[in-house]
Structure formats: structure tokens, C-alpha cells
Amino acid sequence: MIDAIDLFCLNFFLLCGAAGVETEIRLSVMEGDSFTLRTGLTELQRDDEVEWRFGTSRISTITARSITNDDEMFKDRLQLEEQTGDITVTNVSHEHSGVYHLSSIVRNKKSNKQFTVTVFAHLPIPVIFSDASKCSSSPERSPRIFLCLVLNVSAVSLSWYKENSVLSSISVSNLSISLSLPLEVENQDKNTYSCVVNNPIRNQTTHLDISQHLRPCSDCSLCFDSTEAVVRLVITAVTGLAAMAAVHLLINDIRRAHRPAVKQ
């Protein structure tokens, strides 16, 4: 005879088997790339159903007989695999970061999956400047301070490397700011140095050639004070952002011009 405890355990496991235990998968992707979320199914049968949601918004519902798309944010970026129910999001941007939910009913069994997607911005190439205040008529006799700089970055680390070893590092989380990191090097130093900015997916590296900085300051194209370096980079960044904004406005104007008028 089955006692009360055994009956409770049996009902509990049957309930878990019917509802499915939710699993979580984490993905990282760069802006402009694509990612695929997989159901793990090989083929949808007649009564099977797959539903995808982004946050609380439904993206699509897929069955063996029909497919529906419901979210405008994924319009022209969503590719659906009819046989398996997999979805691929193309040309992703920061707004596609978040939690995706999969609910499926397969052979009358319900299961759930959760995908956490993080979209990272493209990394700038680090720029290295030398400190003009340390220049002298005999530069080979004095150490040189170098400044590595990156603008408008988030969720990255900026590091100085000596050969393959990290000398110093600084990190930023989700705030979009500029990072700089100094390095003091003796001019007689023959080691190889490099400045690296990286996120969990990629990195950008600029190598330091000390021999290029052994000339007198009047002849050194990279020798200028830190204030001037920052000003030059800020002007370049602002100009680039203004150009991107102008292109974005132009594209919106073209889309509005070709959008059919709404009939009253």
C-alpha cells in the first residue's frame, strides 16, 4: 500500500515531469553579429508547439502547421527554423540584450528554457601617447611615461602587458566612460609592451615601440601633453557620433517617405 508520503512524492515528480524544470543558458555576442537559440528538438510533430518570449513580450509561436511573429523589435531580424523551432536573431544591437524564454509542448510534455543574452559594443583600438613633460634633450637618459587611452567603453578591462604578463589593469562595468592607464618605461628597456582592451568576447591590442619615442621631443609626433591628447580624442569621438546620428536621421526620413499613407 502506498502511504501518504509516497503519494506526495509521486505527485511531485509527476508534476515536475509535466511542467519541466527550467534550465538557463548564457550567451554573449557582439553588436552586428547574430545568435541562435535552440529548442533541442529534431522535428516538430503535428500537436507540438513552441513559444518564444523576450522578457514579457511574445516573439513567435511555432507549430508543425503555422508560424506567427508578434514583436516589431525583431522584424526583419528574426529567422525561424520550421522543423526544430530554433530562432536566429541577426544584426543584433544593445536592445537585444536580455532574457529569452522558451516554452514548448512536445508529445504532450511541457518544458521551459531560459536564455540570457548579453550584447557587447565593438571595441575601440587603444591609443598610446607619450608624456611630453618627460622629454629631454637626451631622452635616452630618462624614463618615459606612456598613456594608453580608450573612449566611450563599457564592460571592458584596459591593461598594460610586459611580454605576456599583466603589469596593471583597470575595469569598468556598464557605464560608458573613457579609460586611461599610465606606464613608466626606462628608455634602455628592450622588453615588449602592449596595451589591451578586452571584453568577454574579444580584445583590441596596440603594441608599444619604445624606439619610436627615443627622439627629441621636437621631432616626436606622438609627444604631446595629456590634456592635448584627451582633447584630440574627444573631438574625434564627437565628430564620429555626430556623423552616425546624421546617418540615422537620414535613414528614418527615407523610411517615412516610403511608408504608405494610412487611409482614413
Query: pLDDT-derived band of residue 91, with 50, 70 and 90 as boundaries?
Result: very high
Q: What is the CATH number of domain 19-120?
A: 2.60.40.10
Let me know if domain 127-233 sits in CATH 1.10.3720.10: no
Confidence of residue 172 (pLDDT cuts 50, 70, 90): confident
C-alpha pair distances (Å), 37 with each of 27, 56, 74, 90: 9, 17, 14, 12
Assigned C-alpha cell, 114 = 531560459
Q: Where in the chain do CATH 2.60.40.10 domains reside? A: 19-120, 127-233
Tell which phi-psi region holds residue 118, choosing left (phi > 0), alpha (psi between -120 and 50) or beta. beta
Q: Which three cell numbers stand for residue 49?
A: 508547439
Mean pLDDT taken over the chain: 76
Model's pTM, two decimal places? 0.64
